[in-house]
Amino acid sequence: MNRQNRPSRADNTAEYARRRAAYERQKAREAEEARRREIEKQRRAARRRHSLRVFGGRLLVGVVIFLLLAAVAGVLFWIHFNRTHPAEEPRVVRYTYGETAGASLTEASARQGGVLYTDFHELAAWLGMTVVGDADRIRFVAVPETNAGTTDSAGSGREESVTFYPASDRATVNGQDVRLAAPAVLLGEHLLVPAGFVSEYMCGVTAAVTDGAVAYARTEGEPLAFRLKDVRPLETIPEDDYSALGGTTGQTDPPTPPAPVTTGGEAPVIAEPAMPAVTFTADLSAYEEFMNPADRDGYLLLVNNTSTLDASYLPDDLTDLADTRKDGRATQKMRRTAAKALEAMFIEMRACGYTDVSVTSAYRSYEYQNTLFNMYTANEMAANPSLTLSQAQAITATYSARPGTSEHQSGLCCDMHNLPSADRAFAQKDAYKWLCDNAWKFGFILRFPEGKEDITQISFEPWHYRYVGRAHAYAIHESGLCLEEYLAQR
């Protein structure tokens, strides 16, 4: 190229500057575009956030309004429903006894399986009858004072009585087994029996039944008695024929009772071993009526995990025990007959050379038993922190009864020994061996014997003695049974 046609240095510099400026402008435009895109992006995000806030606020307001409307609707519906459908009192059947306002039973309790029931405990109390027995067998006796100068329906002059067996339609009237229209029902501590029993088997009392009420009245001039006339005995009724007694076909036979023996006109009882002559070293003639009570079945109350006493149960004849341990503890108490029989046993024990045995515990209230049980449970949990409360209570229950399940509340038992505290080591003492051989003579049994833990649910307690009266104490002593087994077989 001709030297003259070559670009000058100045021309090169200008071209470079021009290109440089064009490049800078391009970069600026790109930067501006990127900045605008970023701003637009931020604006779009802001608009979305705003839309979400607005939507969320509106949704929240909508939910609140909906809940308020639902609440208002619910209140209005409740008011409307209760105005048009007021809550009804549960229907009851009311019972009156003579001129006295009686108790009542709910419809569900009073009418079962189409049969009207009555509370026989309430009726018996009004009639002045005595009650003997436990949850398996309850006997009601027309007391002689009420029936002075009267005889039973057979004219034998014996005591008038009826025995019911809860959950069974069998009953024993004046020694004769019969069937009821429906099974007797144990409701708490009260026995419900078909109301028809009164008109069918009882003399001296009438029942007027109306819709929702039963009124009992004494028949003027007629003594209280139980009758068997015109009633077919149990064994003469075929298994499928209950119509004669107003029963329902298809029922099953009640449990077959043990072979009975009749003694002195009393209701049938299990045959018991002949008792040998009872002799003592000391003169205990003044105590015979307590060791061998006339009311021989009156002290067979069963108290355990399934046959309980409520918190209000309190014997009304508690008597101080002179042989309470003299170590500052309160004088212990038992029911009068049991206390006097125990006094006789201590007199004989001392006469035989056993002078160091004393009573450490007898009657306990429901509240005190509850305190003891909770204290022992707390001790178990302190000794083994891994135990739960229920586990600790289960352990405690093997040696201390839960409140309501303790015989001590009955006033018919006591703990006695010659150790600093109750311990199975007492079983190695000569005094314990003497008690094993002789306690029955005074009407006492070892209540929780060794080998019966599965039945009594209480571990072996060689110090715990229970009063049942001499006849039953001897039968239990000879049979080797615990009280639960003995009562189950009677």
Name the packing angle between helices 430-438 and 336-351 (round to 10°): 130
Of 199, 234, 261, the residue that ends a domain is 261
Quick check: 261 pLDDT over 70? no
Name the nearest CA neighbour of 315 among 288, 340, 336, 284.
336
Name the nearest CA neighbour of 409 among 326, 302, 329, 323.
302
pLDDT in tens, 62-74: 888 989 888 888 8
Quick check: 462 pLDDT over 70? yes
Distance from the Cα of residue 88 to its chain's centroid: 29
Is the torsion defined by CA of 359, 361, 365, 368 positive or negative?
positive
CB 151 within 8 Å of CB 217: no
Q: Supply the residues annotated as catalytic.
A: 461
**Amino acid 201: pLDDT:** 85
Quick check: 278 pLDDT over 50? yes
Domain co-membership, 72 together with 111: no
Bigger pLDDT: 273 vs 93: 93
Domain co-membership, 316 together with 440: yes
Range of the domain at 350: 272-364+406-488
Quick check: 139 pLDDT over 60? yes
Quick check: 263 pLDDT over 50? no
Averaged pLDDT for residues 204-233: 75
Domain co-membership, 345 together with 480: yes
Domain co-membership, 277 together with 256: no
Name the nearest CA neighbour of 131 among 179, 103, 100, 163.
163
Averaged pLDDT for residues 224-247: 44
pLDDT confidence tier of residue 366, bands split at 50, 70 and 90: very high
Of 71, 87, 103, the residue that ends a domain is 87
Establish if 266 belongs to a structural domain. Answer: no
Instruction: Record the tokens describing residue 21, joined without a space.
Output: 């400026």
Averaged pLDDT for residues 393-399: 88
Domain co-membership, 127 together with 203: yes
Compute the distance between CA of residue 476 and CA of residue 436 in angstroms, rounded to an integer. 12
pLDDT confidence tier of residue 258, bands split at 50, 70 and 90: very low
**Amino acid 249: pLDDT:** 31
**Which of 80-84, 134-138, 171-175, 290-294 has the highest average model confidence (pLDDT)?**
290-294
Domain co-membership, 483 together with 444: yes
Q: What is the DSSP letter of 303?
A: -
Domain co-membership, 81 together with 97: no
Compute the distance between CA of residue 257 and CA of residue 284 in angstroms, rounded to an integer. 38
Of 54, 71, 87, the residue that ends a domain is 87
Name the nearest CA neighbour of 437 among 353, 341, 349.
349
**Which of 156-170, 177-191, 234-248 has the highest average model confidence (pLDDT)?**
177-191
Compute the distance between CA of residue 477 and CA of residue 55 in angstroms, rounded to an integer. 88
CATH code of the domain covering residue 290: 3.30.1380.10
Average pLDDT, the chain: 82
**Amino acid 235: pLDDT:** 38
pLDDT confidence tier of residue 402, bands split at 50, 70 and 90: very high
Domain co-membership, 154 together with 78: no
Domain count, the chain: 3
Task: Please state which of the ranges 6-10, 86-90, 338-342, 476-480 shows the lowest mean pLDDT.
Answer: 86-90
CA-based angle 286:291:292, to the nearest 5? 105
Domain co-membership, 73 together with 128: no
Domain co-membership, 24 together with 117: no
**Amino acid 318: pLDDT:** 96
Which residues, in sequence order, are CB contacts of 429 under 8 Å at separation 6+? 417, 418, 419
Domain co-membership, 83 together with 98: no
CATH code of the domain covering residue 201: 3.30.457.10
**Amino acid 23: pLDDT:** 86
C-alpha count within 13 angstroms, C-beta hemisphere, residue 41: 6
- Alpha-helical (H) ranges within 248-365 are 288-291, 336-351
**Amino acid 143: pLDDT:** 61
**Amino acid 181: pLDDT:** 85
Bigger pLDDT: 201 vs 261: 201
Quick check: 291 pLDDT over 90? yes
Domain co-membership, 339 together with 249: no
Quick check: 257 pLDDT over 50? no
CB 397 within 8 Å of CB 372: no
